[in-house]
Amino acid sequence: MKVAISATGSSLDALMDQRFGRAAYFLMVETESLEFEAIENSGAAAGGAGIQAAQKVIDAGAQVVLTGNVGPNAMQVLQAAGIKIYTSEPLEVRQLVEVYQQGGLKEITTPVAAHSGMKSGNA
Amino acid sequence: MKLAFLSGKGGVGKTLVSTNFARLIPEAIYLDCDVEEPNGAIFLKPQIEQVLEVKVLNPEPLPELCLGCRRCVEFCKFNALAYVGQIMLFAELCHACGGCWKLCPAEALRAKERVIGQLELGRTGELATRTGLMNPGEATGVPIIKQLLHDLPSEKTVVIDCPPGSGCSVLESLKKADFAVLVAEPTAFGLHDLEMVCELVRFYNLPAGVVINKHTEDLAEVEAFCARQQLPILGKIPYQASTAALYGAGKLLVDEDVAAKELFAKIVTTVMEVATDETARHLKR
């Protein structure tokens, strides 16, 4: 299972970023082997960041997204690709994968308000 | 003569100055280019004679023709398109550049009109008014401003009330202007933004002068800046409670207050003289 995790850094020790569209990185993690690839998302678009981010993780082959919040446009794109989205507090990526595999995360199907991720940095 | 009133900072008095100014010029045209929140009509109270829709061309995806090459998605700088098995369009992000359907090798996108706002054409006595109104949530008011500035009679005085800031919509509002009236207030923030718009008009080689609103004798930085930059000061509107009270009540100073009418009449004369001289000098260069 390949999961995409919004993250503040490019390693498994990085904290999850609560913002989806404006996260610094996406870590594409194989849940079985913990093999991963970091996709940079800094310099996220001036507008349509969520759409662009959703396209990136879809193209990288994500089946599941683990993040804090997802805005309306990103959610629409992720849902069109049939990707499930789970929400969490900002844990370290390695720990987050563990919690996900134990079934400890809540699935979300409704977005937060547009531009929520522009109000603050990582909460 | 086409005069653009701009300030950088919001709340400085662009609308106060431009509405009262326009009111004193026979057969002028007042354009409200602050299409996100136009408020000139609150003071001028025009009789609306005509409402025109403003439309832009957006792409309409035709999924049965799409090859999935994603050239359009990669081209769009505003991320208005995504590809998930088929093309998804986020119309409110589209800036209507037309690149996507020009690039599409399969004609799987076609241009489709979409309404993003409207123009209200009206009249306040012999003053003609045009107000641009952008629908909430739209990405850009530039097409509305373009349409506002389209087809202006060359012999008339046109007063262009610009949006705040110094971004795309301000640049668009300046495109037809012969002279810029920079409205400034004597605060640190006001001076900062005056410097920005000064740089902007210099970049576009547009002659300019300054009207200082909320003027008090003890704050002289704006005047010092104007002297350094050789920007003529076209008028000073004193900082006083009665001005704020009339403005707050949605009234034009020149209709209510004799002293204000004299002050604005002087500003009109000065602006017209300086603008005529400066534009003539500019043409010679």
Contacting residues of B for A55, CB less than 8 Å apart: 73, 82-84
Residue of B nearest to A76 (CA): B88
pLDDT for position B10: 93
Distance of residue A95 Cα from the nearest chain B Cα, in angstroms = 30
Look up residue B162 and give its DSSP letter. P
* Token representation of residue A36: 């991963």
For A51-104, write each residue's pLDDT tens digit. Answer: 999 999 999 999 999 999 999 999 999 999 999 999 999 999 999 999 999 999
CA-closest candidate to residue B181, choices B120, B173, B189, B262: B173
Residue B84 forms contact with A (CB below 8 Å): yes
Banded model confidence at residue B260, pLDDT cuts 50, 70, 90: very high
Residues of A in contact with B90 (CB under 8 A): 48, 51, 73
- Nearest-Cα distance to chain B for A62, in Å, is 13
Which residues are B51's β-sheet partners? B120
pLDDT band at A122 (very low <50, low <70, confident <90, very high): very low
DSSP bridge pairs for B159: B3, B30
Instruction: State the average pLDDT over residues B145-167.
Output: 95
Tokens of A66: 């683990």
Query: pLDDT-based confidence at B31, cuts 50/70/90?
Result: very high
Q: What share of chain A is helix, strand, coil (3-state, %, to 5)?
A: 25, 25, 50
For A48, the closest of B79, B83, B84 (CB atoms) is B79
> Which amino acid does the sequence have at B106?
A
- Chain A positions touching B73 (Cβ under 8 A) are 55
Nearest-CA residue of chain B relative to A114? B137
Q: Grade residue A123 by pLDDT with cuts at 50, 70 and 90.
A: very low
* Interface pTM, i.e. ipTM: 0.87
Are B237 and B211 within 8 A, CB to CB? yes
Please report which helix (H) or strand (E) contains residue A26, including its range: strand A25-30
pLDDT in tens, B33-59: 999 999 999 999 999 999 999 999 999
Model pLDDT, residue B265: 98
Q: What is the pLDDT of residues B115-139, one digit of tens each?
A: 999 999 999 999 999 999 999 988 8
Instruction: Kindly report the backbone phi and psi dihedral angles of residue B274, in degrees, each rounded to the nearest multiple of 5, phi listed first.
Output: -65, -45
Query: Is B1:B272 a contact under the CB 8 Å cutoff?
Result: yes
Average pLDDT, chain A: 92
Averaged pLDDT score across all residues of chain B: 95
**Angle, nearest 10°, between helix axes B14-23 and B258-284?**
90
Residue A57: closest C-alpha in chain B: B84
Question: In terms of DSSP H, where are the helices of chain B?
Answer: 14-23, 40-44, 71-75, 99-103, 142-149, 168-174, 188-203, 221-229, 241-248, 253-256, 258-284
Q: Does B79 contact chain A (CB < 8 Å)?
A: yes
| Banded model confidence at residue A114, pLDDT cuts 50, 70, 90 | confident
Which of A77, A79, A83, A115 is the best residue to mutate to test the B interface, defined by the most B CB atoms within 10 Å of its own CB?
A77
Query: What does the alpha-carbon distance between residue B101 and residue B91 come to, in Å, rounded to a whole number?
Result: 14
pTM for the complete prediction?
0.81
B100 at interface of A, judged by CB pairs closer than 8 A = no
pLDDT at B83: 97
For A80, nearest residue in chain B (alpha carbons): B84
| pLDDT, mean of residues B82-105 | 94
**Is residue B93 pLDDT above 50, yes or no?**
yes
Quick check: A47 and B82 CB within 8 A? no
Region of B107 on the Ramachandran plot (φ > 0 left; ψ -120 to 50 alpha; else beta): left
Task: Find, in chain B, the residue whose alpha carbon is nearest to that of A46.
Answer: B78
Percent of chain B residues topping a pLDDT of 90: 92
Amino acid B152: pLDDT: 93
Quote the minimal CA–CA distance from B62 to chain A in Å: 17
Q: Are A46 and A120 in contact (CB under 8 A)?
A: no
Average pLDDT over residues B149-166: 95
With CA atoms as reference, report the closest residue to A81 among A61, A112, A58: A58
Q: Which chain B positions have a beta carbon within 8 Å of A77's beta carbon?
A: 82, 84, 88
State residue B283's pLDDT score.
76
pLDDT digits (tens, 9 = 90+) for B261-285: 999 999 999 999 999 999 888 777 6
Q: What residues contact B4, with CB distance under 8 A and at least 6 apart?
A: B160, B162, B173, B174, B177, B179, B180, B181, B206
Element of type H or E holding A99? helix A93-101
Q: What is the pLDDT of residue A121?
A: 47
Subunit contact A45:B79, Cβ cutoff 8 A: yes
Position A43 confidence tier, pLDDT thresholds 50, 70, 90: low
State residue A120's pLDDT score: 54
| A contact set with B (CB within 8 A) | 45, 47-49, 51-52, 54-55, 58, 73, 76-77, 80-81
From A52, A76, A81, residue closest to B79, measured CB to CB? A52
- The answer, yes or no, to whether residue B256 has pLDDT greater than 50, is yes
CA distance B94 to chain A (A): 10
